[in-house]
Amino acid sequence: MNTIPAPPKNDIPDAEKSRGPLIEALLRLRKNRIAVAGVVIIAFFLAMAFFSRWIAPHDPLAQSLYDKLKPPVWDEDGSWTYPLGTDDFGRDLLSRIIYGSRISMMVGVTAVSIALFFGTLAGSVAGFYGGKVDNLIMRTMDILLAFPSILLAIVIVAFLGPSLRNAMIAIGIVSIPRYARIVRGSVLEEYSKDYVQAARALGAGDGRLIFVHILPNCLAPLIVQTTLGFASAILEAAALSFLGLGAQPPTPEWGAMLANGRALILRAWWAVTFPGLMILFAVLGFNLLGDGLRDALDPRLRE
């Protein structure tokens, strides 16, 4: 008696079948130890920024000439009043570093938001319409990219006036071409696919095609660039403040603290070392997370 062979078994568990691309990306990200380290570093700085009012031991602006340039050592009575020492105005370095994390996170959010909004808008319009519109937008982006980002930011801040707000605007402007190029390339790739043509045949307008159908499929490279953009924004803001074009004294910003401690490096090494380490670890955290997200969101790396 002939029997009908049973269909081959599918070895893929039901749980894996139901996973969406986002869940799969998060699982791959969790297995990446470097990315997890970046998440831990970023979480540390976010917690420090959010709870700075409660964890800072002193007022970051309070001055005490009696306590100026105190090294990070135990006091004579056995207490540790200034764990990271003080600067040349007697201000607690730890408190200023803690409050400086708020400014650095704010700079990252503001600058990246400006660059993300205008860069996404410019890139999507250039990639969708092409032709003269594409040439006009992308040649403008090429002109911006022709200048070193920090030099262009210095020019913009010099025109607007030195301040933390203008520094954030300048950093956002010089970062627009990075997002525009990424979005344009993704839009060009998605525009030729069948689902876009089907949506157009059903009567979808240009705005709906761009923002509802195409852009949601371009999120992966944007997420990676946004994460890396935070690192660049923090570093460039610190550079502008170091040059006196960003945060102005007595604002507790890491770059401004480096500039203030530059003349004290031989007498008070802690005034430069600890703010520099904060910049290093903050940038490192976002870079590690960005690299991990790139690996997790890249479909070519899926097993």
Domain boundaries, the chain: 91-301
Question: Quick check: 16 pLDDT over 80?
Answer: no
Q: List the beta bridge partners of residue 92.
A: 86
- The band of 31, judged by pLDDT with boundaries at 50, 70 and 90, is confident
| Structure tokens that stand for 87 in this block | 């600067």
**pLDDT attached to residue 15:** 47
Residue type, 131: G
Note whether 91 and 70 are within 8 A (CB): no
C-alpha 280/C-alpha 125 separation (Å) is 36
Q: What is the pTM of this model?
A: 0.85
Predicted confidence (pLDDT) per residue in 243-260, tens digit: 999 988 889 999 999 998
78: left (phi over 0), alpha (psi -120 to 50) or beta: left
**pLDDT attached to residue 172:** 95
Note whether 149 and 175 are within 8 A (CB): yes
Sequence-distant (6+) residues with CB within 8 A of 297 are: 25, 220, 221, 223, 224
Determine the average pLDDT of the residues in 209-234.
Answer: 89
Predicted confidence (pLDDT) per residue in 175-218, tens digit: 999 999 999 998 988 888 888 888 888 887 888 888 888 888 88
The answer to whether domain 91-301 has CATH 1.20.120.80 is no
Count other C-beta atoms under 10 Å from residue 235's C-beta: 21
| Structure tokens that stand for 266 in this block | 């031989």
